[in-house]
Amino acid sequence: MLDTLMIRIVIPGDDPPQLQGSPHLERLRQAGEVTLYLDRPETVDEQIRRAEAATCLINSRSAIHWPGEVLRRLPELRMITTCGIGTDAVDLETASELGIVVSNVPGKTVPIVAEHALALMFAVARRAWHQTNAVKQGRWLGLDNFYLRGKVLGIIGTGNIGAEMARLARAVGMKIIAWTFNPTPERAKQLAAPFVPLDELLSTADVISLHVKLTEQSRGLIGTREFALMKPGALFINTARGAVVDTPALVAALNSGHLGGAGIDVFDVEPLPADHPLLSCEHVVLTPHNADQTPEGIDFLNAGVADNVLAFLQGKPQNRVV
């Protein structure tokens, strides 16, 4: 184990709040000096000042990005752990080159995120926000709601969350089809749903739920062409990553009426600026990248982060991505 007196564990921007007040911070303080910043750094130089003495970094909520040019200016850094499964905020290639261990927290909040995706689907299908807003304004709308039982749900990305979403939707009475980058008969059997070509899924599904991780292969996966292939009135749910979707294409599909609605938890820019075009779209339900933010989910993730740091300091790194 590394010398505790030399260990500096830094949370460089706990915004939105994740680790502040967590009992798992006490576990980390027994292993080294812990510094937690409540706000995000406003500049790259400030980001580097906060992190320059760190042995281990905890990237809370993936709020801060760590490109190669920043990592190269952190000579003391030995390890980064994300506070969830996503590692797209870290330049993994440069981290590997520099010998920086990168870990994530996989699987801890699968049922919580899948439940959020299901909730977004119901909220969009029943026009919940749009009708609530109208009632508050004294308008009694006669909108048709969207009946989900018997409809086809297309799952794009069949990892743990996508598979759990399929299970939940099947319990509602929906039919499931799926697409993944690496389909196999074994995975189809586990999913209890057929894999189909992406174009077929897009043109067949009544609801499409996105669950792929962000990679160079998946970046911009859903754009103008893909939205055009979707059935008129289809619903679109994204709890994966904002950059998997071409946002202007999503906005255009909503504003034209081709899409019947969308439920979005992740965005190309976070937090959303006041002039972001999605904010002016109708029939959207937006949540602030908090699909796993329940007391249980927060504790699961914080425990996983602490476990990752302590395992690394004991010379037994776990959940390694690089």
The residue from 241, 276, 283, 296 that is catalytic is 241
Tokens of 27: 């576990």
Q: Hunting for tokens 């792929």 — which residue is that?
A: 212
The residue from 33, 46, 52, 270 that is catalytic is 270
Task: Examine the residue annotation and report whether 130 is marked as an active-site residue of this protein.
Answer: no
Dihedral-angle region of residue 172 (phi above 0 means left; psi in -120 to 50 means alpha; beta otherwise): alpha
Residue 321 to residue 96: CA distance in whole angstroms:
9
Going by their DSSP bridges, the two strands 79-82 and 56-59 should be labelled as parallel
Tokens of 45: 């130089």
Residue 284 to residue 123: CA distance in whole angstroms:
9
Residue 166 to residue 155: CA distance in whole angstroms:
7
Task: Please give the span between the terminal C-alpha atoms of the chain, in angstroms, as a whole number.
Answer: 20
Task: Examine the residue annotation and report whether 241 is marked as an active-site residue of this protein.
Answer: yes
Q: Hunting for tokens 């706990």 — which residue is that?
A: 14
Contact 170, 191 (CB under 8 A): no
DSSP 176-231: EEEE-SS--HHHHHHHTS-B--HHHHHHH-SEEEE-PPP-TTTTT-B-HHHHHHSP
Residue 128 to residue 283: CA distance in whole angstroms:
9
Q: How many CB atoms lie within 10 A of CB 228?
A: 14
Residues serving a catalytic function are 241, 270, 289
